Amino acid sequence: MSDVDTTPAATAAPATAQVGVAGLAVMGRNLARNLAHHGYAVALYNRTQTRTDDLVAQYGSEGTFVPSTSLEEFVTSLERPRRIIIMVQAGAPTDAVIDALVPLLEEGDIVVDGGNAHYEDTRRREAALREHGLHFVGAGISGGEEGALNGPSIMPGGSREAYAALGPILEDISAKYDGEPCCAYMGTDGAGHFVKMIHNGIEYADMQFISEAYDVLRAAGMAPTEIAGVFQEWNTGDLDSYLIEITSEVLAHVDAETGKPLVDVVVDAAEQKGTGRWTVQTALELGVPVNAIAESVFARSTSGHPELRAAARAALSGPTGEPVKVDMGELVDDVRDALWASKVVAYSQGLDQIRTASQAYGWDVDIAEVAKIWRAGCIIRARLLERIRSEYAAQNLVTLLAAPSVSADLATAQDGWRRVVAHAVAAGLPVPGFSAALAYYDTVRAERLPAALLQGLRDFFGAHTYRRIDREGAFHTDWSGDRGEIPMR
């Protein structure tokens, strides 16, 4: 890398672009346009030339684009240190682009992966590029195509040196909350993609809770348009968020072909792709309890098993008693409280996972900064995030649930939350998200847990030993003998 004179890049035409985007499908194209809108000269490259040509033909007048027909030309067109944002499919395609780029780059150049990479891939790539004297930045980007164009939330990880050269550009094009950029340095190697993964895990939970809220109200007799109104109303209070806002839009939408609410003609089977699953897999590996997020991933899996559902539907019955009577006004208020409290639990679990991983990998992630850059631009943007930011900025919290303002509001919301779960259980309505979140709330606040009995059982059949509340050390009871207690060490 350091032999500047012999690289193809160094022998070609003078560089004119300040930043480059490789991969010009919807995300890359919109990110390139966003960069151009902010006055940057943007080098463009895509494996299939037509995407580059189309971008220039359609949007060339929006700013300065420097299109290229080859990766060599693309690299040559960039000022040093080169700042290259890769926006291609995660996995093998990202490796293919990196492998092709590396021989063309020079020491100190910065390669950014803006795709949805697994953080372990990012750690591997960062280490490999560091060997070549290159910086590798794994940057989580949230906000979909609209965000990429008008201001996403950006979660970059990598070296601080790379952030110094790249951060100002990313902060420029990111969403703004009260004038503050929704982009901040997250930590070394995989920290940025880890934070993005957790963002998506929380997004899974948020959407599951919203769907359960809808389901409970629908089962109680409300029409989708009425529920749309309820969500619109909620969006003016503590639940104010992008997902609540778009829920009211989706629920109000009528299918043009049938005249039915759209929600009634859509197949009730959800996909679960990479990041939600990764969140749960990683949580298991790190030993972090994220049961509300996990239930949200499993709820999608269950919905997507038609054979299982058909067999169970044919065989199983629901509650046989009188239909559950409800006061609709009270139910709406209770569901709002269940939704808010469950959402707080999901955030709490996701942030706990970031905190734990940060310690395990030495990232030193500032949770207040995470909340800060999620306040706008990303899919989980919500009023709650400013409160989370200020709570974490004020003190070092073990859990969001212990933040003074949060625990006080949970105390108020919990009665309604419990009534909703009890009502749903009595009515035979599945609320895996609400009930998992409530179980977590009750588990973590419990004085004593039945894990004590569980430890006794493990000692009984496997001599796994147990610890006592009144003495140091490990103990085993001689279950098959005289049942005396034996100190083990």
Ligand X SMILES: NC(=O)c1ccc[n+]([C@@H]2O[C@H](COP(=O)([O-])OP(=O)(O)OC[C@H]3O[C@@H](n4cnc5c(N)ncnc54)[C@H](OP(=O)(O)O)[C@@H]3O)[C@@H](O)[C@H]2O)c1
**Facing residues of 42 across strands?**
19, 65
Distances (CA, A) of 120 to 124, 247, 294, 417: 6, 34, 20, 37
* 139 versus 424: smaller Cβ distance to ligand X: 139
What tokens were used for 316? 């199983």
Spatial CB neighbours of 403, under 8 Å, sequence gap ≥ 6: 387, 388, 391, 392, 395, 397
When binding is defined by CB under 6 A, the residue of 48, 225, 359, 405 that contacts ligand X is 48
Question: What SS3 state is found at 372?
Answer: helix
Identify the burial level of 232 via C-beta atoms within 10 angstroms of its C-beta, where 0-12 means exposed, 13-18 middle and 19 or more buried.
Answer: middle
Binding span for ligand X by CB under 6 A among 139-147, 176-184, 319-327, 470-478: 139-147
Find the binding residues for ligand X in span 102-121 (CB under 6 A): 115-116
Q: Nearest approach, Cβ of 34 to ligand X (angstroms)?
A: 13
Binding span for ligand X by CB under 6 A among 44-52, 181-189, 391-399, 462-470: 44-52
Please report, as a single letter, which amino acid is at residue 334. D
The H or E element containing residue 331 is helix 328-361
Please report, as a single letter, which amino acid is at residue 193. H
Going by C-alpha positions, the residue among 174, 177, 126, 219 that lies closest to residue 371 is 177
Identify the burial level of 217 via C-beta atoms within 10 angstroms of its C-beta, where 0-12 means exposed, 13-18 middle and 19 or more buried.
Answer: buried
* 25 versus 128: smaller Cβ distance to ligand X: 25
By CB under 6 A, tell whether 49 contacts ligand X: no
In whole angstroms, give the CA distance from residue 134 to residue 128. 9
When binding is defined by CB under 6 A, the residue of 7, 46, 122, 279 that contacts ligand X is 46
Spatial CB neighbours of 139, under 8 Å, sequence gap ≥ 6: 85, 112, 113, 114, 154, 155, 156, 157, 170, 192, 193
When binding is defined by CB under 6 A, the residue of 1, 15, 56, 90 that contacts ligand X is 90
**Facing residues of 177 across strands?**
180
Find the binding residues for ligand X in span 409-468 (CB under 6 A): none
**Facing residues of 157 across strands?**
187
Q: Nearest approach, Cβ of 9 to ligand X (angstroms)?
A: 19
* 27 versus 213: smaller Cβ distance to ligand X: 27
What tokens were used for 240? 């104010």
By CB under 6 A, tell whether 71 contacts ligand X: no
By CB under 6 A, tell whether 26 contacts ligand X: yes
Residue with tokens 């970059």: 156
* 198 versus 406: smaller Cβ distance to ligand X: 198
E-state strands within 294-426: none
By CB under 6 A, tell whether 27 contacts ligand X: yes
The active-site residue, picked from 126, 196, 212, 372, is: 196
To the query of whether residue 196 is one of the catalytic residues in this protein, the response is yes
When binding is defined by CB under 6 A, the residue of 19, 35, 66, 97 that contacts ligand X is 97
By CB under 6 A, tell whether 47 contacts ligand X: yes
Return the CA Rg of the chain.
Answer: 26
By CB under 6 A, tell whether 23 contacts ligand X: yes
By CB under 6 A, tell whether 84 contacts ligand X: no
Q: Nearest approach, Cβ of 98 to ligand X (angstroms)?
A: 10
Binding span for ligand X by CB under 6 A among 88-96, 229-237, 338-346, 426-434: 88-96
Binding span for ligand X by CB under 6 A among 21-29, 119-127, 204-212, 284-292: 21-29
Find the binding residues for ligand X in span 140-169 (CB under 6 A): 141, 144-145
Closest residue to bound ligand X by CB: 115
Three-state secondary structure of 78-129: ECCCCEEEECCCCCHHHHHHHHHHHHHCCCCCEEEECCCCCHHHHHHHHHHH
The active-site residue, picked from 106, 126, 203, 212, is: 203
When binding is defined by CB under 6 A, the residue of 19, 21, 28, 186 that contacts ligand X is 28
Binding span for ligand X by CB under 6 A among 26-34, 203-211, 442-450, 453-461: 26-34
Spatial CB neighbours of 379, under 8 Å, sequence gap ≥ 6: 142, 143, 144, 199, 203, 242, 243
Three-state secondary structure of 394-439: HCCCCCHHHCHHHHHHHHHHHHHHHHHHHHHHHHCCCCHHHHHHHH
Binding residues for ligand X, rule CB under 6 A, total 22
* 175 versus 413: smaller Cβ distance to ligand X: 175
By CB under 6 A, tell whether 406 contacts ligand X: no
When binding is defined by CB under 6 A, the residue of 1, 8, 15, 25 that contacts ligand X is 25
* 206 versus 334: smaller Cβ distance to ligand X: 206
Find the binding residues for ligand X in span 202-261 (CB under 6 A): none
When binding is defined by CB under 6 A, the residue of 9, 43, 75, 88 that contacts ligand X is 88
Q: Nearest approach, Cβ of 274 to ligand X (angstroms)?
A: 8
By CB under 6 A, tell whether 89 contacts ligand X: yes
Binding span for ligand X by CB under 6 A among 47-55, 183-191, 405-413, 471-479: 47-55
Q: Nearest approach, Cβ of 150 to ligand X (angstroms)?
A: 13
Please report, as a single letter, which amino acid is at residue 210. I
Q: Characterize the bridge pairing of strands 180-181 and 176-177.
A: antiparallel
* 108 versus 274: smaller Cβ distance to ligand X: 274
- The footprint of ligand X (CB under 6 A) covers 23-28, 46-48, 51, 87-90, 93, 96-97, 115-116, 141, 144-145
**Residues forming the active site:** 196, 203
